[in-house]
Amino acid sequence: MERNALIILVKYPRKGQVKTRLGSGIGFENARRLYSCFVLDTLDAISSTKNAVRIAYDPPEAACSIKEWLGPDYGYFPQKGEKLGLRLQDAFRKTFAEGFENAVLIATDCPDIKKDTIDEGFRRLDRHLEQTDSVIGPSPDGGYYLIGFKAQSFIPAAFENIAWGTADVFNKTLSTLKQAGLHPHILPQWRDIDTAADLADFVRMHSNSPFRKSKTMRFLLSRPELMRKLKGVTDD
């Protein structure tokens, strides 16, 4: 069996239930459709991975719709827990219960995430001669876009007493890891997309990059009114 599992948190794209902060700036239907593109671009980025992929989906009752949408190439399990921290704990517990030695978890807020970055997380966890037993990737807003553990180093406390959505999430989590005696490796910073301002910066970054051909960028470029609105946000 594979040693490594990549866990991807996915929500079924229902209007008003995904990317709500983004939706308040660009409209909830645009946010719904963009979120769908984010998910598909994330899966495209890891399509050649040699690691097992587990989709932790929400809501649980959308199981059939999620599997029909994303296809049979992944393992699936429902997210469990009323709060985000409980859902993250449960996702790692379920994955390690399958027998995997290392697990890395990402969401789908970074559609331009690179497979190399995820692979680097697994390489750090795989290296037996190094002390690294956990990995974390910071976001500019103070959160993180990736976190991973060896099976024997997983600590549920990493997801407890966290004020999710604030600028202190990364620092608090890193402090918890170190206080538990772990030796986390910090991956390169990566921007996630939560607001219209984030999206405007994202568009500017990729206006002439190879990612311009992605599903996310193709959708945006097909919406000239939205692009004009984002240009205004960027200029502000």
Three-state secondary structure along the chain?
A: CCCEEEEEEEECCCCCCCCHHHHHHHCHHHHHHHHHHHHHHHHHHCCCCCCEEEEEEECHHHHHHHHHHHCCCCEEEECCCCCHHHHHHHHHHHHHHCCCCEEEEECCCCCCCCHHHHHHHHHHHHCCCCCCCEEEEECCCCCEEEEEEEHHHCCHHHHCCCCCCCCCHHHHHHHHHHHCCCCEEECCCCCCCCCHHHHHHHHHHHCCCHHHHCHHHHHHHCCHHHHHHHHHHHHC
Q: For tokens 């390169």, what's the residue?
A: 188
CB 9 within 8 A of CB 54: no
Residue 114's closest CA among 190, 187, 45, 208?
45
Q: What is the mean pLDDT of residues 187-191?
A: 96
Domains within the chain, CATH numbers bracketed: 4-192 (3.90.550.10)
Overall average pLDDT of the 6-12 stretch: 98
Token pair belonging to 68: 């029909």
Which tens digits make up the pLDDT trace of 105-126? Answer: 999 999 999 999 999 999 999 8
pLDDT in the model for residue 92: 98
Q: What is the mean pLDDT of the chain?
A: 95
**What is the side-by-side strand order in the sheet with 134-138?**
75-78, 52-58, 4-11, 102-106, 144-150, 134-138, 184-186
Query: At 141, which amino acid appears?
Result: D
pLDDT value, residue 41: 98
**Which pLDDT does position 131 carry in this prediction?**
83
pLDDT for the residue numbered 232: 81
Reading the block at residue 55, the tokens are 């989709």
What local confidence, expressed as pLDDT, does residue 1 receive? 56
Residue 64 has pLDDT above 60, yes or no: yes
The label of the residue with tokens 């866990």 reads 7
In the block, residue with structure tokens 């199981």: 63
Q: How confident is the model at residue 127 (pLDDT cuts 50, 70, 90)?
A: confident
CB 28 within 8 A of CB 18: no
What pLDDT digit, counting tens, does each position of 129-175 carry? Answer: 578 999 999 999 999 999 999 999 999 999 999 999 999 999 999 99
In this prediction the pTM is 0.96
**Residue-level pLDDT at 236:** 46
- Is the pLDDT score of 217 beyond 50? yes
Look at residues 30, 32, 13, 38 and name the one whose alpha carbon lies nearest to residue 224.
30
